[in-house]
């Protein structure tokens, strides 16, 4: 019996989807050696057995959608392929149907499982990897299932290029921009009316990290966001707020430290707590970015630039040291 064929109609030119010289097509052929791909200007025909043929067709549609008519990175293609290992029937964290929240990459799946299996979890990685979003979904799910009686969301109010004193309004207005991303994520999980009601009742609390000092947080799901901007002393203060029946998720990007002096409590915590039971560190990377496909490319470009800068600085230091040696 001959193999069946599926045709995938594209919203963008095939060269945009498959890359110059069909670069991404070679990756698909390695992933599914039993399939044959025939490329036209705005369509791709796939011949071969199921379920491989259906998987490849679904992946090509995702690449087409994420490309947005522009180029798409190897990391994004690899991330989309890796996401195929996560069952589509895996239970959602919250929601139903297309509105459900679930992990979309292998790294995100590992992160969510770590939250289930540990009391404190550190989610470390660049923007767009779902660190805060998935933690928020787990917090809302825990509240709905009565595993906890409240949600506490916090982040440090660290000045990143601006000074609080120059911002308009009183203290609440000055701090609100720092907390707004937490409100935005929460608003995607619950209706505005529910968020407002639970906030008024004290079931949901969003506050700057400084407000955590001196407290013990019992029966709460606590999320510390932007943890790279905590000092080691602040991180210790926060972690020791843990009370009975509570869980904590700490999220941050170690490459985005805005602290004067640069010593981050997030980096410090991994060195100090790496071997402590019931604490897990999960690292996410550009393969786990689920924003616009261009975000992965931006992250990779900056990482490559930073590596080149490091090599350049090291080379200059070596030449300087050699010059000093010759002068002696």
Q: Walk along the chain (328 residues) in steps of 10 and give the mean pLDDT of each run.
A: 77 81 84 87 88 86 78 76 64 70 84 95 91 94 96 77 46 63 84 90 90 94 94 95 97 85 87 94 82 64 77 75 66
pTM of the entire structure? 0.67
The pLDDT of residue 145:
95
User: CA 35, 38, 39, 45: dihedral to nearest 10 degrees?
Assistant: -70
d(CA 177, CA 167) in angstroms, rounded, equals 10
The pLDDT of residue 164:
46
- Residue keyed to tokens 């050699």: 322
d(CA 279, CA 23) in angstroms, rounded, equals 41
The pLDDT of residue 162:
38
The pLDDT of residue 161:
37
- Residue keyed to tokens 């071969």: 48
The pLDDT of residue 185:
83
């Amino acid at each position: 019996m001959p193999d069946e064929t599926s045709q995938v109609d594209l919203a963008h030119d095939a060269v945009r989807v498959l890359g110059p010289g069909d670069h991404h097509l070679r990756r698909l052929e390695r992933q599914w050696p039993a399939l044959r791909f025939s490329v036209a200007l705005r369509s791709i025909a796939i011949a071969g057995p199921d379920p491989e043929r259906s998987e490849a067709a679904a992946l090509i549609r995702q690449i087409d959608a994420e490309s947005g008519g522009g180029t798409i990175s190897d990391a994004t293609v690899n991330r989309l392929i890796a996401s195929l290992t996560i069952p589509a029937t895996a239970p959602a964290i919250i929601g139903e149907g297309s509105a459900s929240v679930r992990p979309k990459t292998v790294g995100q799946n590992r992160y969510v499982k770590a939250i289930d299996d540990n009391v404190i979890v550190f989610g470390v990685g660049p923007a767009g990897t779902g660190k805060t979003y998935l933690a928020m979904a787990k917090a809302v799910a825990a509240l709905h299932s009565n595993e906890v009686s409240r949600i506490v969301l916090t982040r440090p109010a660290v000045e990143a290029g601006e000074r609080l004193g120059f911002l308009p309004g009183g203290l609440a207005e000055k701090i609100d921009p720092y907390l707004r991303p937490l409100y935005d994520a929460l608003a995607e999980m619950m209706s505005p009316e529910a968020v407002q009601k639970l906030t008024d009742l004290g079931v949901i609390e969003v506050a700057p990290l400084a407000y955590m000092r001196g407290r013990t947080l019992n029966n709460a799901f606590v999320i510390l966001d932007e943890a790279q901007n905590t000092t080691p002393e602040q991180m210790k203060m926060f972690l020791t707020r843990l009370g009975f029946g509570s869980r904590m998720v700490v999220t941050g990007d170690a490459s985005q430290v805005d602290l004067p002096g640069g010593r981050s409590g997030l980096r410090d915590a991994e060195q100090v707590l790496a071997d402590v039971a019931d604490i897990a560190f999960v690292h996410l990377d550009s393969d786990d970015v689920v924003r616009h496909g261009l975000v992965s490319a931006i992250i990779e470009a900056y990482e490559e630039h930073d590596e080149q800068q490091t090599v350049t600085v090291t080379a200059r230091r070596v030449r300087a040291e050699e010059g000093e040696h010759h002068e002696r």
